[in-house]
Amino acid sequence: MSQANSHVRRELMLLTKSVLSPVALGLTLLYSYFTIAHFLVLPSETRNIMMPVAFFSAVFYLSVWFLFNRITLADKWIYPISLVYFFVASLNSNLHLYFSNQVFQTTNIMLLVIAAGYFLMSTRWLFVSLALVILPWWYSFQQVVSTPEEIAHYQLAMFTTLFVTGLIHYFHRGTATDEILLRLRETDLRERQQREASRLETAVHVSQHLKTSLEEFPLLENIANIVRTQFNLSIVSFFEYIPASEHNEPYLRLQAISTADPQAFAWPTALSLKDGMVGWVAQHKSAIFAPDVHQEKRYLAWAETCPTRSEMTLPLMVGSELLGVLDLQSDQLHAFDQYDFTIFQILAEQTAVSMQNAALYGRVRAFNESLEAEVQTRTQDLQNAYQKLEKLDQAKTDFITVAAHELRTPLTHISSYTQLIERTPTAKTDERLQRYTKHVHHGIQRLTMLMESMLDIAKIDQDALDLVLSRVSIADLLAYVVEQLHVGLAERDLHIETTAVLTTLPPLQGDLQLLRKMFHELLINAIKYTPDGGNITLSGRFLPDTAVVEIKIQDSGIGLAQEEQELVFAKFYQTGSVDVHYSGTTRFMFKAGGTG
């Protein structure tokens, strides 16, 4: 309240100060006019006195106006200078009254009194000013008045003037005071709103920080620093609640603290539930705040020179579970109000949830790290196994290449000796021997084809297969392959149906020999898994959108299960239990059937 009264007095003083400069200029013009008027109107005896007085008064007010525009007037000189204003004006009016013997000059004195009541905002200085005006007037008035009627008339007029002056001063000062108090309340309200908005903004900022951070200890440290700086606190600390164990009672462990001077005190790292406001809050799970800690019995000073004057302590809880305590300390009395309590209560709840999330995240992260280590171990094992498989696959490829080359020599010998046997006179006449040599030639051809296929596989594995590209007719290609297999088809009573659309397909750009081998193996596979008397259909179509020719080989064999279709192009893969299959030269009994 005293601070508000002091503010009002100063504002009233500044209101008086604001009119001193324009009033000085106005009085300069007024007394300049009086100087000329006195010279023209007054008799010589009065003129010789009043004209210099009016002139020097004008010079005085002009000097004051000039100084006001050049220097800044200290507040303590405002009312004394105002008093000089009225003294100079009173001197002019009272001298004029005294030397002119004109009692009606009292009217000027009355106007001066009313002006003092309006412009002076200090009642004390108003009384001093009125004394400087009224006392000289009373002396001059006594010298010039001539009749009792005039005395009564002007005395009544002066008392009326003083009464009106008092009313003017009272209402003007009261109105100005009300305006100042209203502005003061508006300023206080605006500052409070700004302070609350700033604190709410800080709370929102902390809330966003809580949502984006999952590291518990850096999280609490950052929040403590933000809250301390934004709320202008001296100490902000977070304590973690440690439940009771077999060997220890429950206690509070300091997790984060923010202070302007961390080296000033030896901060406690642990508190029992009986220590100070922090322990009381942990024990009762209820928030408290002390406007003056020296009046709070539960307050515990952390150090003898600790600057704390007010303190607020809140529990950090999720549901009914206590996670810790938030402690806020300020070096100012009554630093916290109910609005602060609401803000910090929300902040404490959000912090508790974030602490719980951070703890869960820590456990999940530890599990993930353990799982990642296990995965890395398993991955390394798989890589080692894969490297072994690569070596085995390379060894297999090398074996195929070596075996294919090594088989050429004995096959050449077998072929040469078979040809020599065929040229003998006995072989030319012995049908049985001719049949034997024919079977030998068929076996040599099949084994040669097998070796070439094995070499092609090895080249494909080593990316060393050379292609001889040419234009290939699909219809001619399939006709050639079918012709090579006509003997086996006839023996098994298998029928190959070739659709007419094959002749309309555009030619391909490819390696003719490799295409023949590919379709030969596909048809061999179809023959192998097709029962005697079955059908094999060759069809195709051109896909213009992708410029692709699609060839379909459909048989009536045992078919492929869904899980085996992805393995159909694996090397040396064979599916089904085939008791009878055709390999081009050999015939077995067939038991299974179905769509191939």
Task: Decide if pLDDT at 182 tops 50.
Answer: yes
Strand duo 508-511 + 548-555: pairing? unpaired
**Contact between residue 563 and residue 556 where contact means Cβ atoms under 8 Å apart:** no
Task: Decide if pLDDT at 596 tops 50.
Answer: no
Q: Which of 88-92, 231-235, 444-448 has the lowest mean pLDDT?
A: 444-448
Task: Decide if pLDDT at 217 tops 60.
Answer: no
Topology given in CATH for the domain delimited by 466-596: Heat Shock Protein 90 (3.30.565)
* Confidence band of 59 (pLDDT split at 50, 70, 90): very high
pLDDT of residue 2: 59
Angle between the N-to-C axes of helices 338-423 and 148-212, in degrees from 0 to 180, rounded to the nearest 10: 20
pLDDT of residue 566: 66
Task: Decide if pLDDT at 120 tops 80.
Answer: yes
Task: Decide if pLDDT at 1 tops 60.
Answer: no
Question: How far is Cα 489 from Cα 375, in angstroms, rounded to an integer?
Answer: 54
Q: Which letter, b or e, does each residue of 23-47 get, where b requires 16 or more Cβ atoms within 10 Å of its Cβ?
A: bbbebbebbbebbeebeeebeeebb
- Write the pLDDT tens digit of every residue in 534-589: 889 999 888 888 888 889 888 887 777 776 666 666 665 666 554 544 444 333 33
pLDDT of residue 55: 92
Domain ranges, ordered by start, for the chain: 2-186, 213-336, 466-596
* Confidence band of 345 (pLDDT split at 50, 70, 90): confident
Task: Decide if pLDDT at 506 tops 60.
Answer: yes
Question: How far is Cα 530 from Cα 535, in angstroms, rounded to an integer?
Answer: 8
Average pLDDT over residues 362-388: 85
Q: Tell me which DSSP letter residue 171 carries.
A: H
* Confidence band of 214 (pLDDT split at 50, 70, 90): low
pLDDT of residue 349: 84
Average pLDDT over residues 74-100: 85
Which range has the top average pLDDT, 100-104, 191-195, 401-405, 494-498?
A: 494-498
Q: Which of 63-77, 240-254, 294-308, 310-324 has the lowest mean pLDDT?
A: 294-308
pLDDT of residue 576: 56
pLDDT of residue 73: 78
Question: How far is Cα 141 from Cα 151, in angstroms, rounded to an integer?
Answer: 8
- For the full predicted model, state whether its pTM sits above 0.95: no
Topology given in CATH for the domain delimited by 213-336: Beta-Lactamase (3.30.450)
Task: Decide if pLDDT at 210 tops 80.
Answer: no
pLDDT of residue 595: 31
Question: How far is Cα 582 from Cα 590, in angstroms, rounded to an integer?
Answer: 9
Q: Tell me the two tokens of residue 574.
A: 């064979």
Sign of CA dihedral 510, 511, 517, 518: negative
* Confidence band of 594 (pLDDT split at 50, 70, 90): very low
pLDDT of residue 52: 92
Task: Decide if pLDDT at 167 tops 90.
Answer: yes
Identify which has the larger pLDDT, 576 or 255: 255
Q: Which of 5-14, 136-145, 199-208 has the lowest mean pLDDT?
A: 199-208
**Contact between residue 509 and residue 471 where contact means Cβ atoms under 8 Å apart:** yes
**213-336 with 466-596: one CATH topology?**
no
Residue 316: phi and psi, rounded to 5, are: -105, 105
